[in-house]
Amino acid sequence: MALPPQFLEELRNRLTLSDVVMRRVRLQRAGREFRAPCPFHNEKTPSFYVNDQKGFFHCFGCGAHGDVIGFIMRNDNLSFMEAVEALAPEAGLTVPKASPQERERFEREKSLYDLVERATRWFEAQLRAPAGRHGLAYLRGRGLDDEAMARFRLGYAPSDGTGLRGELVTAGYTEADMVEAGLFKRPDDGRAPFPFFRNRVLFPVTDRRGRVVAFGGRILEGEGPKYINSAENPLFHKGDILYGMSRARQAAADGKPVIVTEGYMDVIASVMAGFEGAVAPLGTALTETQIQALWKLAPEGQRMPILCFDGDNAGRRAAFRAVERVLPLLMPDHSVRVAFMPEKEDPDSLIRAGGAAAFQAVLDRARPLTDVLWDMEAADRDLTQPDAQAGMQAALEAQLERIPDARVRNAYHRAFKDRLYQLGRAARPAFQGGQGGGQGGGFNRGQRPGALPFPVARQWDKRFRAGVETGSARWRERLLLAVVLNHPVLFETLGETLAMISFATEGLERLRQALVERLFHDSGLDAEGLRRHLSACGFAEELDETLGADLPSYARPEATPESARAGWQEVWLNSQELVFQTELREAERRLAEDPSEETLARLMALKREELIRRGHALDPEGEGV
The model's pTM: 0.59
Calculate mean pLDDT across residues 338-367. 92
Q: How many CA atoms lie within 13 A of 87 on its CB side?
A: 30
pLDDT at 98: 58
Specify the higher pLDDT residue, 266 or 448. 266
Check whether 620 has a pLDDT greater than 60. no
d(CA 548, CA 550): 6
Specify the higher pLDDT residue, 16 or 4. 16
- 45 near 51, Cβ under 8 Å? no
d(CA 279, CA 245): 6
Tell me which of 146-160, 332-346, 488-502 is least confident. 488-502
Taking only the tens place, the pLDDT of each residue in 209-258 is 788 999 999 999 878 889 999 989 888 998 889 999 988 887 887 788 99
Taking only the tens place, the pLDDT of each residue in 507-545 is 888 999 899 888 877 767 889 889 988 998 899 989 988
Q: Which 8-state DSSP code applies to residue 303? A: B
Check whether 121 has a pLDDT greater than 60. yes
Tell me which of 45-49, 88-92, 175-179, 605-609 is least confident. 605-609
pLDDT at 453: 29
Check whether 614 has a pLDDT greater than 90. no
CATH of domain 5-91: 3.90.580.10
pLDDT at 460: 33
Topology, domain 101-229: DNA primase DNAg catalytic core, N-terminal domain (3.90.980)
pLDDT at 284: 79
Check whether 407 has a pLDDT greater than 80. yes
Taking only the tens place, the pLDDT of each residue in 65-103 is 899 999 999 888 888 888 898 898 888 888 876 566 666
Tell me which of 36-50, 262-276, 422-436, 543-557 is least confident. 422-436
Check whether 18 has a pLDDT greater than 50. yes
d(CA 350, CA 319): 19
Calculate mean pLDDT across residues 329-349. 91
Taking the CA atoms of residue 101, residue 106, residue 108 and residue 109 in that order, the dihedral angle to the nearest 10 degrees is 140
Residue 372 zone, left/alpha/beta (φ > 0; ψ -120 to 50; rest):
alpha
Taking only the tens place, the pLDDT of each residue in 152-192 is 999 999 988 889 999 999 999 999 999 999 999 988 877 88
**CA distance between the termini of the chain:** 89
The two beta strands, 306-309 and 337-340, are: parallel
619: pLDDT confidence band, cut at 50, 70 and 90? very low
Calculate mean pLDDT across residues 418-425. 74
Residues 6+ apart with CB under 8 A from 406: none
Beta-bridge partners for 29 = 34
d(CA 192, CA 174): 12
Q: How many C-beta atoms surround the C-beta of residue 141 within 10 A?
A: 8
- 65 near 57, Cβ under 8 Å? yes
pLDDT at 476: 84
Q: Name all contacts of 607-611 with Cβ < 8 Å and 24+ positions apart.
A: 608/439, 609/439, 609/440, 609/442, 609/455, 609/580, 610/580, 610/584
- H or E segment at 216? strand 212-219
Specify the higher pLDDT residue, 418 or 407. 407
pLDDT at 158: 93
What are the DSSP calls for 406-470, one per residue?
A: HHHHHHHHHHHHHHHHHHHHHHSPPP-TT-SSSSTT-B----STT--SS-B-----HHHHTTS-H
Calculate mean pLDDT across residues 375-379. 87
Taking only the tens place, the pLDDT of each residue in 187-209 is 887 788 899 999 999 999 998 87
On the 0-12 / 13-18 / 19+ scale of CB atoms within 10 A, 101 is exposed
Indicate the domain borders of the chain: 5-91, 101-229, 245-414, 465-579
Topology, domain 245-414: Dna Topoisomerase Vi A Subunit; Chain: A, domain 2 (3.40.1360)
Of 312, 342, 332, 339, the C-alpha closest to 408 is 332
d(CA 350, CA 337): 19
- 40 near 33, Cβ under 8 Å? no
Taking only the tens place, the pLDDT of each residue in 460-477 is 333 223 333 333 678 888
